[in-house]
Structure 1
Amino acid sequence: MREWLRSKREFLGLTQEEIASRAHIQRAYYTMIESGRRNQSVKVAQMIAMELNFNWIIFLNFKVTK
């Protein structure tokens, strides 16, 4: 679980749907990223990070292992 990602989104008062829409991805895909079930591309990481106002590099520290 990427608790830090969920906390950041909730702190800003945004829904998963809003972040997904702004990042141009499906809400289900965003949900899997936030829950830690999927990794995202660099481009998607950058778009999410831009919307939530953090450095996208943090995603590299929290990769999902299969």
Structure 2
Amino acid sequence: MNAEAIGKRLIALRGEKLVKDVAKALGISASALSMYEKGQRIPRDEIKIRLARYYDRTVDSIFFTD
């Protein structure tokens, strides 16, 4: 799992939406989402699922594709 690549995918998926708005919709803090996007942390499985559902993608396509 490449944290930097995951972060870039998450940033691309978020597009023009604000970090705080996406984080609120996911029920996580804006700082947590920011750390995921910067590649500083990998979300736990529950959050991976929330992110995939929010962006209408599979968990594999976001977190396990190189």
* Highest RCO, 1 vs 2 (Cα 8 Å, sep ≥ 6): 2
- TM-score, length basis structure 1: 0.77
TM-score (norm: length of structure 2)? 0.77
Counterpart CA distance in 1 for 2:8 and 2:52 is: 15
1:59 paired with 2:63, answer yes
Q: Which runs of 5+ in 1 are unaligned?
A: none
- List per-residue Cα deviations over 1:1-50 (Å, max 9, x = no partner): 3212101110xx32111111111110000100111100111110111111
**C-alpha displacement at 1:61, in angstroms?**
4.3
In structure 2, stretches of 5+ residues that fail to align are none
Q: In 1, Cα distance between the equivalents of 2:41 and 2:11?
A: 14
Amino acid at match of 2:12: S
Runs of 4+ residues over 3 Å off in structure 1: none
Identity %: 18
